[in-house]
Chains A and B, each alone.
Chain A
Amino acid sequence: MGKGAGTKRSNVGLLIVTALVTLPFVPLFLWAFAGEWRFPDLLPTEWSPRGISYLLEPGGRVLGATINSLLIGVSVAVASVVVGMPAGMALGGYEWRMKGAVIFVILLPILVPPLASTMGIHLTFIRLGLADTMLGVFLVHLVPTVPYTAIILTSIFAERTGELEETARTLGAGPWQAFRYVTLPEVAPGVAVAGLFAFLISWGQYILTLLIGGGNVVTLPMLLFSAASGNDPVVTSALAIVFALPAVLALVVALRYLKPGTLDEGRGFVGLGKVS
């Protein structure tokens, strides 16, 4: 009896949680397609494609900003994986002294807001001509993303024993061959997750882009922020949906292709909420 009641309570609980989680999306979707929605009305009285056509406007700002966000996000993801992978190998694959201290240093940019370091480095970026450029924005996005890729890949490498590489080496493979043909294929799913994380973190950055991009590098969150500070819920909601899309897609892909359990149990996307 106890188990049955518990399951039922669980399902009711899940229903309530689902409702609360989806609640903020309800006005977003209604507003994005609303033509007229005056105060006491519970639903829009007229529908309109205005929000959608704002997004798709040829040569419009949304398209340009989306391209900027994608370009920066993809290059940040690739660079973070390239930088984070060797660190992950060192931290996950080997035992050595001072490891705890190094982990602390690597985690610090996740826990200490990168706002402080970015304001500090702004002057240097101006001097080097990196301020107001995509390259500059790309560089500061690495501050929150590299720690994540390094930590994710650490846990991936920690689960491996390295025996296969040893076998490959005894069979005459060079260190690079062993890495390329043995290590890499095996850690590929973990690398994909790490890259996805890095992309989503970069995609969500607002203040770092604003500080270093100085308004010259316009990404989607810039448009969303100025729309949200204004008075047009239709445009704001349409932008918010586009801005949320990669996160939803990533979640769907991850849940579909990753082995069950990767996303449960307090791992998975857990840390992401802290920086996006």
Chain B
Amino acid sequence: MGGRIKIALLLTPAMLVIGVLFAGGLVSAVVQSLGYLPAIGQTEISLDAYREVLTGEDFLDSFLLTVYVAGASTIISTILAVLAALVLRRSSGRLSAIVFQLPITIPHLVAAVGIALVVSQTGLGARLAAALGLIGEPKEFPALLYDRYSVGIILTYVWKEVPFVTLVVLAALRGVAGELEDVARTLGASAWQRFWYVVFPVISPGIIAASLIVFAFTFGAFEVPYLLGKSYPTILPVMAYNEYRDIDLTARPAAMAINVLIALTTAVFAALYLRLARNLGRG
């Protein structure tokens, strides 16, 4: 009995922080999304903001862009990470640890600025193309920033996330997968057979878990698209922020409704991830 009270007491500070600042903030966002804003004399509860947001063309454009950016970043990062892990698993752990930890620790903003200076129309890439005689003018270099396909944003995310996914895959590879593969090798399995029938099934739960995190993160992240994205359509968090910044306070419920939708979507991915992670822990 004393144990239960002790655990409750130990959990209290963290639960207070998360309960008040995070959960409280989310509840407040939900309340405001329902149009309850006494500050501007609105006390009627309605789903108008959701109706307005969900039927608007802006939202659909932003939603599709967000899914595209998050999806493309996740898929590209995951594929490159699996390839990198397979190639790198026999390299020195120390050096690869440094090389991989660097993009993970570097803030997204720095990554975005660095990538922008590489891929912009007067960037390192364009200068190299000019030196090779491929282009004469900066504008002949493809526009990779503020562009339709969000190439700069996706490249920044890939640069940041590949090391994260690679480390997860490497951990799985260096564990059981390596031993099983040796067994398969002695039994005469080819390289492809070893990968597809032995290694991949072992590492795939880790890969799925890591890509769920990457998707949830890139779906809800703000900075990189705000800096490198074009002005319409924007990804959902930027759209929410723009609505929020609107001087007209009647736009507030719409901003909050977008926020709530982002939170719900990412929470679903969080739940999927945790379920998977728990099964991984058991298995």
Bound together, the chains give a CA A265 to CA B97 distance in angstroms of 9
A70-104 with Cβ < 8 A to chain B: 82-84, 86-87, 89-91, 94, 96, 100, 102-104
- The reply on A114 being an interface residue by CB < 8 A is yes
Contact pattern, B 137-148, Cβ under 8 Å of A = 1, otherwise 0: 010000000000
Tell me, rounded to whole Å, the shortest Cβ–Cβ distance linking A260 to chain B. 7
B75-89 with Cβ < 8 A to chain A: 84, 87-89
Residues of A within 8 A of B127 (CB): 39-42
Residues of A within 8 A of B161 (CB): 273
Contact check, B91 vs A13: say whether CB atoms are below 8 A apart.
yes
Contact check, B223 vs A147: say whether CB atoms are below 8 A apart.
no
Contact check, A120 vs B14: say whether CB atoms are below 8 A apart.
no
Tell me, rounded to whole Å, the shortest Cβ–Cβ distance linking B176 to chain A. 13
- The reply on B110 being an interface residue by CB < 8 A is yes
Contact pattern, B 65-106, Cβ under 8 Å of A = 1, otherwise 0: 000000000000000000010011111111111111111111
Bound together, the chains give a CA A164 to CA B278 distance in angstroms of 30
- The reply on A105 being an interface residue by CB < 8 A is yes
> CB within 8 A of A90: which of B11, B24, B88, B274?
B11
Contact check, A124 vs B217: say whether CB atoms are below 8 A apart.
no
Bound together, the chains give a CA A260 to CA B7 distance in angstroms of 32
- With both beta carbons as reference points, the residue of chain A lying nearest to B25 in the complex is identified as A117
Tell me, rounded to whole Å, the shortest Cβ–Cβ distance linking B136 to chain A. 8
- The reply on A207 being an interface residue by CB < 8 A is yes
Contact check, A39 vs B11: say whether CB atoms are below 8 A apart.
no
Contact check, A118 vs B101: say whether CB atoms are below 8 A apart.
no
Tell me, rounded to whole Å, the shortest Cβ–Cβ distance linking B108 to chain A. 6
- The reply on A272 being an interface residue by CB < 8 A is yes
> CB within 8 A of B114: which of A25, A41, A91, A114?
A25
Contact check, A113 vs B262: say whether CB atoms are below 8 A apart.
yes
A24-B18 CB under 8 A given contacts A39-B122, A86-B13: no
A28-B114 CB under 8 A given contacts A107-B274, A276-B108: yes
Contact check, B29 vs A207: say whether CB atoms are below 8 A apart.
no
A115-B220 CB under 8 A given contacts A9-B87, A240-B113: yes
Contact check, B109 vs A224: say whether CB atoms are below 8 A apart.
yes
Contact check, B101 vs A237: say whether CB atoms are below 8 A apart.
no
Residues of A within 8 A of B7 (CB): 90, 94, 96
- The reply on B118 being an interface residue by CB < 8 A is yes
Contact check, B109 vs A112: say whether CB atoms are below 8 A apart.
no
Tell me, rounded to whole Å, the shortest Cβ–Cβ distance linking B139 to chain A. 11
Contact pattern, B 172-186, Cβ under 8 Å of A = 1, otherwise 0: 101000000000000
Contact check, A14 vs B99: say whether CB atoms are below 8 A apart.
yes
Q: Give chain A's interface secondary structure class.
A: helix
Residues of B within 8 A of A25 (CB): 114
Contact pattern, A 110-140, Cβ under 8 Å of B = 1, otherwise 0: 0111111111110110000000000000011
Contact check, B117 vs A27: say whether CB atoms are below 8 A apart.
yes
Bound together, the chains give a CA A21 to CA B110 distance in angstroms of 13
Bound together, the chains give a CA A86 to CA B112 distance in angstroms of 37
- The reply on B232 being an interface residue by CB < 8 A is no
Bound together, the chains give a CA A207 to CA B128 distance in angstroms of 35
Residues of B within 8 A of A143 (CB): 17-18, 21-22, 25
Residues of A within 8 A of B111 (CB): 24
- The reply on B164 being an interface residue by CB < 8 A is yes
> CB within 8 A of A240: which of B110, B222, B256, B259?
B110
Contact check, A265 vs B25: say whether CB atoms are below 8 A apart.
no
Contact check, B11 vs A86: say whether CB atoms are below 8 A apart.
yes
Residues of A within 8 A of B274 (CB): 103-104, 107
A206-B269 CB under 8 A given contacts A87-B11, A116-B262, A117-B22: no
Which 3 residue pairs are nearest across A and B when measured between Cβ atoms? A24-B114, A120-B29, A117-B25
Task: Enumerate 20 A-B pairs (CB-CB under 8 Å) in ascending A order.
Answer: A13-B88, A14-B88, A21-B163, A40-B131, A96-B4, A104-B271, A112-B216, A117-B26, A119-B256, A120-B25, A143-B22, A206-B109, A229-B227, A233-B117, A255-B97, A266-B170, A266-B172, A268-B97, A274-B164, A276-B106
Chain A residues within CB distance 8 Å of chain B: 3, 6-7, 9-11, 13-14, 17-18, 20-21, 23-28, 31, 39-42, 82-84, 86-87, 89-91, 94, 96, 100, 102-109, 111-121, 123-124, 139-140, 142-143, 146-147, 150, 200, 203-204, 206-207, 221, 224-225, 228-229, 233, 236-237, 240, 243-244, 247-248, 250-251, 255, 260, 263-270, 272-274, 276
